Structures are given as structure tokens and as C-alpha cells.
Amino acid sequence: MKKIIFAVFSVLLMAACSNTTNSSNDGNTLPDTDEINDEQSDLSNDEAADNTPDEDLSDEVLTESDETADETTDEITDEEIPDDPGAIDRGEPVHGRVILQSYPESDKNSAWISANFYDKPMRLDAFSPFQPSIQKLGLKKGACSIFIADINAACNPQCGNDEFCNAESKCEKFSVSQSAGKITVSDTDAEVSMDYSPDEWFPGYYQTEFPADGLYSQAVITASAAGETLPAFTMSVKAPKYSDITVGDNGTVNLYDDKNTEIKWTPDGNDNAEMLLIINFGWHGAPPEATIICSAKDSAGKIVIDKDISVLAPLAGGPSLFPHGSYLFKMTSVRKVIDGKNIELWAAFVYGANPVHE
């Protein structure tokens, strides 16, 4: 078993603890009332095409509202096709995301809106958004990939105050939080807006509560941005069907060096629903030591974490100091290219998936 130790530079400590990525990160998109402003397997720069909403959406919902968006669909090579035919590659960093999510294990009566936008692609799946180049792809196998921080990375001379040392031992500019103006999220019965905060240390959108009825009744969820640094946009997606899911052994994902790990659920028959597993290693004072990202269609019924991926993961389990969150998302989503940036809307149910690797 290989234990990975992540050498954290002081500049990264400052970036990850705050809600910004220069001297300021906006909140994370992963759930937990204290941790949710986070919110996902290769590091390609290809721009992804829009995810297709359910066929029974109205023409109004399916109509693109941002006519100026430069949307492209890149040809996928054989090497980019996941080994698991039911898998959906969710490892690509994105510039921004709006997510309406509920945590049924704790409260089925409420949901939360989170939003993050940056000038460069980011990982939005930990306690705070972080630079993807801090990690390297360790292995991609089946529906899963593991990204690992390079313990040998070091920059000489040292990086400037607005830079960090990436996994290639090169100084790189921190990403900058961007505003898309007022964000309004709505469903059949509710509408909630949130404004961008230009705070010096914590710029961004602060998580906002939203009525959960529409999410649990498969309503069409719409997110509209008034536009500012990022141009105005509107996206809509139909919420997935709620499922009562317990991840692994009562919310624990056991990773083994000598056998595979299976996460199972009962499919609901909707191919537009996806299952996304995010397992982060490390504590919130620094970017994750490693991240496992697995994705599959709901119809697949399971995600398999190959033992070859598990053996690369750091040790995990037992008491820890504010660890990064790890979760299974049941979700539907749509993606647009807005002003050359990949922006997503998710509607999701989120279930705890605490890793144990001994």
C-alpha cells in the first residue's frame, strides 16, 4: 500500500482555506452546510457539448437562450472513451457551475443553490475550488480516475504572490473568481436569486436555501444569470427522480488494495440521470492529496473502483480535522459554452460517501 504525503506550500494553504483562488476563492460546491460551496477524468482542454435534457421537456426549455454562446462539439478519440460503456467522463475541469442540490440523508425539506465562476477551468469538487494542475492523473480505469498531488513539485525561484507551484514544478497564475451578475434559480413553484459579493477575501456567491418540493417532484430547474464579467445566460434541466440510496457500508466506501470496490444502486429507468462519485483525500486547509472521480449512467446500476486505483489512494479513515467532503451525486445536468467557457447547471441529490483505506 502506498501512502501519499502532500507537501503543502503556504500559498496553497491560504488559497484553499479561503473562498478565493488568488487571495480569494469563492465557496465550494460540495455539500454540507459548512462545506458545500465547492461542487468533479482527464485534464483535457476540449470543450464539451451540451448535455441533452429529458425528451419530455417543453420546446421552451430546450431552446438555447444565449445565442452568442460559442458552442462546439469536439470529436472524441478512442482513447477518450471510458472502458465501461455505461460510464460518463466527468473528470474535465470546468469554468463554472450552478447547482441546486438536496441532502436527503439529513433534510428532504430543503435544498441549496451554489454557484462558482472562474477565468480558468477549476476543480469544483472539494471544500473549496482548486487549480486542477495541482494534481496529475494517476490512473484512469473503467468508470473511475484518480488524480494525485505531486509530492516532489517545487518551484525555484519561488512563485509570486499571485502564483502557485503546479505539479510540473512551474509557477502558474491563480484563477480569478468572476461574476455573472444576479443568479436566479426557479422551478414550477419557487424563484430565488443571489448576488455576487465582491468581498476582498471571499468574493463570489454565497450558498442560498431553496424550497425542495420541485427538486423532489422532477420539476424543470432553470438558472439565469444577468451577466457581468461572464455574459448573461439561461440554462434548464429536469430534476432526476429521487432515490433512497445508502452508499457502500452505511455511507462508508471501503477501498482495498487486493480487490475491487462496488457501489450499487437501483436504476430508475431514466438514462438522462447520472451517478457521480467524488472521493477526496486530505483536509480542508490544503487542496486534496488525491481525488477519485467515477461516473456512470443511472441505468448502469453500479460503479466499480478498480483495485489498481485504490492502491494509489492515500490512507484514509478514522478521526480527521475537517476533511474534504466525499459524496455520491444522483444528478441531471446541462452544459453550455459561454464566452468560450464551459458552464454547467446541475440538479442533484447528494449522499455521503466517506472513504476508508487502511
Query: What is the DSSP annotation of 81-102?
Result: S-SSTT-----S-EEEEEEEEE
Identity of the amino acid at 355:
P
157: preceding bond cis by omega (within 30 degrees): yes
Higher-confidence position of 49 and 166: 166
Q: pLDDT band at residue 320, thresholds of 50, 70 and 90?
A: low
Q: Is a pLDDT exceeding 90 seen at residue 98?
A: yes
Higher-confidence position of 47 and 217: 217
Q: In the block, which residue shows the cell 468574493?
A: 203
Neighbouring CB atoms inside 10 A of 280's CB total 27
Residues 6+ apart with CB under 8 A from 165: 9, 11, 153, 154, 155, 158, 159, 171, 172
Q: pLDDT band at residue 89, thresholds of 50, 70 and 90?
A: low
Q: Is a pLDDT exceeding 70 seen at residue 73?
A: no
SS3 call for 67: coil
Q: In the block, which residue shows the cell 478498480?
A: 306
Residue 26: predicted pLDDT: 38
In the predicted model, what is the mean pLDDT of residues 40-64? 38
Domain boundaries, the chain: 10-356
Q: Is a pLDDT exceeding 60 seen at residue 155?
A: yes
In the predicted model, what is the mean pLDDT of residues 54-79? 36
Q: Is the dihedral of CA 261, 241, 76, 148 positive or negative?
A: negative
Q: Is a pLDDT exceeding 50 seen at residue 315?
A: yes
Instruction: Give the global pTM.
Output: 0.75
Are 347 and 294 in contact, with CB atoms under 8 Å apart? no
In the predicted model, what is the mean pLDDT of residues 227-249? 95
Q: Which of 203, 217, 234 is nearest to 62 (CA)?
A: 234
Q: Is a pLDDT exceeding 60 seen at residue 59?
A: no
Which grid coordinates are listed for 195?
448576488
Q: Within 13 Å, how many C-alpha atoms sit on residue 65's CB side?
A: 17
Residue 91: predicted pLDDT: 77
Q: Tell me how far apart the alpha carbons of residues 196 and 328 are, in angstroms, rounded to a whole number.
A: 28
Q: Is the dihedral of CA 129, 243, 332, 138 positive or negative?
A: positive
**pLDDT tens digits, 248-285:** 888 999 999 999 999 999 998 776 899 999 999 998 77
Q: Which of 26, 201, 199 is nearest to 98 (CA)?
A: 26
Q: Tell me how far apart the alpha carbons of residues 307 and 166 are, in angstroms, rounded to a whole number.
A: 28
In the predicted model, what is the mean pLDDT of residues 59-86? 36
Instruction: Give the E-state strand segments of 208-257 in sequence order.
Output: 208-211, 220-225, 233-238, 252-254
Which residues are paired to 303 by β-bridges? Answer: 263
